[in-house]
Amino acid sequence: MSKNTFCTYETAWCPGCGNFNILECLKTALEELGKDPYEVMMVAGIGQAAKTPQYISANTFCGLHGRSLPAAVATKIANVNLTVIVDTGDGDSYGEGGNHFIHNIRRNVDITHFVHDNQIYALTKGQASPTSMEGLVTEVQTDGSMNTPLNPVLMAIAAGSGFVARAFTGHKEQLVSIMKQAIEYEGYAIVDILQPCISFNKVNTFGWYNKRVYNLDSSYDPSNKLAAMEKAMEFNDKIPLGILYQEPKKTYHQKNTVLKTGIQLLDQVTDPTVVKSLLKEFI
Ligand SMILES: Cc1ncc(C[n+]2csc(CCOP(=O)(O)OP(=O)(O)O)c2C)c(N)n1
Ligand SMILES: [Mg+2]
């Protein structure tokens, strides 16, 4: 398969943005998995990160801010054969979409969620996001963000996600490998990707991350939930990269009475006479 299967488009990102590496790694991961564009559905809400689906040749749904997960879940339920990937920002995923994030984990629909975590709202020019560090000064938070940052990987493990990873745009080979494993994981997989925003986050820069990140080594056991929670809490002088937690879990499709029989919305033929008679009951 050619490297250009998923095509290259002009972007509206700032030169030097971490989003470029995520886009490139995503295309590489999909190509290495042998996916064709028609098999892939890219979903996002609103944001700089949320533009990613527009820069890749596949099926695309860009919806409302914070509402990417419901659209992704609906897509997978309608057509189980699609590889459904949510590719969006930290604000979209954990702020406006925070409620969906938690309850989507509980449902465990087989979708993959890549979060471009630049710890800022970039599209709207630099307000604090849920992962912004306490004290981060922005044009809105002039005295520094007062809120405790949310720890998305710790939250995901605690809420019961079966695949939780952390990656960094500066480690491309590892990012591709994690992306491939997340896409292949049967169930909801979340990868929080540390992504420098060169325009609006002058604290968490490429150098800031590069100084702190280290790879989990082969002695690390990702099936140990308590150890994973402890690792997930490291976000100071040291930040671990890799698959923090992984366990096999029954998916929504394996549990749902109808879906587990293989019946899906895409194959349903709607008989208008039945719909009409049902509607009549309410008129
Ligand atoms: C319902 C709604 N609320 C707020 C906004 C404004 N808005 C658009 S993008 C955005 C934040 C995006 O941040 P993030 O998801 O982190 O993406 P980034 O731009 O940092 O990549 C906000 C608050 C909106 N468009 N719609
Ligand atoms: Mg952001």
Position of tokens 């990937």? Answer: 85
Distances (CA, A) of 200 to 93, 157, 168, 204, 206: 19, 29, 18, 10, 13
Identify the pLDDT of residue 2: 55
Residue environment code for 137-172, b if the CB has 16+ CB neighbours within 10 A, otherwise e: ebeebeeebeeebbbbbbbbbeeebbbbbbbbbbbe
Across the strands, what pairs with 105? none
Q: Residue 1 pLDDT more than 90? A: no
Percent of the chain with pLDDT over 90: 93
Q: Which of 14, 68, 92, 145 to mutate to test the pocket of ligand 1 (most atoms within 8 A of CB)?
A: 92
Looking at every residue in the chain, the average pLDDT score rounds to 96
Distance in angstroms (rounded) separating the CA atoms of residues 7 and 29? 14
Ligand 1 pocket, 65 CB below 6 A? yes
pLDDT at residue 270, as a whole number? 84
> For the segment 95-137, what is each residue's pLDDT rounded down to a tens digit?
999 999 999 999 999 999 999 999 999 999 999 999 999 999 9
Whether the CB of 123 sits within 6 Å of ligand 1: yes
pLDDT at 50 over 50: yes
Ligand 1 site, residue 132, Cβ cutoff 6 A: no
Q: Check pocket membership of 200 for ligand 1, CB cut-off 6 A.
A: no
**What are the strands of the beta sheet with 213-215, ordered from one edge?**
59-62, 40-44, 83-89, 112-117, 189-194, 163-168, 239-246, 213-215
**218-249 pLDDT per residue, tens:** 999 999 999 999 999 999 999 999 999 999 99
Give distance in angstroms: CA of 170 to centre of ligand 2. Answer: 17
Domain 19-280 sits in CATH 3.30.1330.20? no
What per-residue confidence (pLDDT) applies to 4? 56
pLDDT average, residue stretch 140-158: 97
